[in-house]
A = this chain, B = another copy of it.
Amino acid sequence: MSDLNAAMAETAQKIEQFLEQFLTAQQLSAPLPAPERLVEAIRHGALNGGKRLRPVLVHFTANLFEHPQGDLIQAGAAIECVHCYSLVHDDLPDMDNDDLRRGKPTVHKAFDPATAILAGDALLTHAFALLADENCHPDPTLRNQLVIELVYGAGVGGMAGGQMRDIEGERKGYDPETISLIHAMKTGALIRASVRIGALMGGANPSELTNLTSFGEAAGRIYQLADDILDATQSSEQLGKTAGKDEAQGKSTLIASHGLDHANAVMRKELQSALSLLDAFGERATPLAQLVTHFAERKN
């Protein structure tokens, strides 16, 4: 897996560099001068050394194809801005009220809730300019499609809707179908969008796009199932975040309803079907196959 780790680290580093240069007062001062405090809050929320899994998915998916076009890093950075916005808003006192994120104070702790709301809003807003920008891809129609894909990933039928369903679940309780839907929307939709954006930049034909969409949906489920299994089996120290949260919150995950062995079996089956969707791409699919296998086997 050291090839995988190196390739992931390389993309993560390029994303970090891109965001480091893009999320500056200089880049964000149009039409009028960016307020320093907002730029700092945005940087606090986005330049945090994350794994940048969604840009890695864009990159590996586009590289299934021989001649991907456009700037995969710029497109990945747009998705990462949306991912970071969602973390900043989800952490707010009115939402999950988290004080720490990756061992650092959350944006509303380091600044204040109003600044965190605006920093999230701004990350979401500017993500779309990255995709609409001509450096992102030479075909303007395709750039329009990328914008729409990101809207679907982030919007009411995706991430924002998933967070809404999760908040409602906290009040009304969670049944297994609701949990699957929450996962598919909250985590799955942006993973799906990342794969589709990569596929579109690779030049996928309609049937390839359909297959890769299924792959992206499966990758999201695998990522989430592994999360549930880790939550149930690892200590907080091993995870670097609070373990046992699902049980504490009364979430009837697959593990709660059918046990750990069953959850592991479901995940292995999902992994097999995800891998089989990549068969048609031959050797070019190795990084993506390794990545989704890593999703299933990761330890934190």
Contacts and interface: CB of A to CB of B under 8 A. Distances in A.
A161 B34 contact: yes
A157 B29 contact: yes
How many copies of this chain sit in the oligomeric assembly? 2
Contact of A129 (B114, B133, B143, B148): B148
Interface string A88-115: 0100111100000000000000001111
A199 interface: no
Contact of A126 (B29, B113, B140, B151): B151
B35 A155 contact: no
Contact of A163 (B42, B93, B118): B118
24 contacts: A29-B157, A31-B157, A32-B184, A32-B185, A33-B157, A34-B161, A37-B164, A37-B168, A89-B121, A93-B94, A115-B167, A117-B117, A121-B160, A122-B156, A125-B154, A125-B155, A129-B155, A132-B132, A132-B145, A132-B148, A133-B148, A140-B144, A144-B144, A147-B147
What 3 pairs between A and B have smallest CB-CB spacing?
A132-B147, A94-B113, A28-B156
